[in-house]
Amino acid sequence: MRCPVCEGGTKVLDSRDGRQGEIRRRRACNDCGHRFTTRERIDEVLPMVVKRSGERQPFDRRKILLSLEIACRKRPVSPESMENAVRAIERWAATCGERGVDSSAIGEQIMHHLHALDPVAYVRFVSVYQSFETIEEFEELLHEMEKAEATDPEGQRTLFGGLEAVERPLPGLRGARRREEGEGEGD
């Protein structure tokens, strides 16, 4: 980008997320030193999601947010952190330069972000998701969980129960499991 004052070359000092998919960059001119801010919109054209069956459907951010919200229920994860994760996944999908993204790749993105957000939420998602083939199936499970929780306060524990069922230890899993056990489960 050229300097608006002298048309010299510029460098980026700082980048941050602005409102609604916008990236704000603080720039400085290499020649005259002028400092200015640009706002760039990332390409908002989201790819289609390709299910295992080969069927394509539009990218749906609500499903991703719902997955995060349920995995993070009663965990110290702010709505803002979840929103940031959804936005990051949207940016990933919008910029990976493919005509479609596999629903399984979206599941992996969700795991990646949950791993950074909260170990227990991560284990919940992984333990449930690994037994399902696609995010669509996971979504069905989410609805079942919602229903179970509405009728039975212990429903969530039942559905997410048996963390031992996660056979392959994944990064962060061991610590997460220990932490959950330490929360006075043995009553």
| Positions in the binding site for Zn ion (CB under 5 A) | 3, 5-6, 8, 29, 31-32, 34
8 Å CB contact between 104 and 52: yes
Torsions phi, psi for 181 (to 5 deg): -65, -30
Give min distance, CB of 24 to Zn ion, in A.
19
Cβ nearer to Zn ion, comparing 34 with 75: 34
Residue 14 CB, nearest approach to Zn ion (Å): 18
Cβ 23 to Zn ion shortest distance, Å? 22
Q: Please report how close the Cβ of residue 38 comes to Zn ion at its closest, in angstroms.
A: 14
What is the smallest separation between the CB atom of 26 and Zn ion, expressed in angstroms? 15
Cβ nearer to Zn ion, comparing 9 with 175 = 9
Rg of the chain in Å (alpha carbons): 21
DSSP letters for 33-74: --EEEEEEE----PPEEEPTTS-EEE--HHHHHHHHHHHTTT
Comparing CB distances to Zn ion, the nearer of 33 and 162 is: 33
Instruction: Show Cβ contacts of residue 83 under 8 Å, excluding neighbours closer than 6 positions.
Output: 65
Instruction: Write out the two tokens for 142.
Output: 């989410």
Q: Are 145 and 156 in contact (CB under 8 A)?
A: yes
Nearer to Zn ion, 28 or 166 (CB): 28
H runs (alpha helix) in the chain = 61-71, 79-95, 103-117, 119-129, 135-151, 155-160, 173-181
Kindly tell me which of 3 and 93 has the beta carbon lying closer to Zn ion. 3
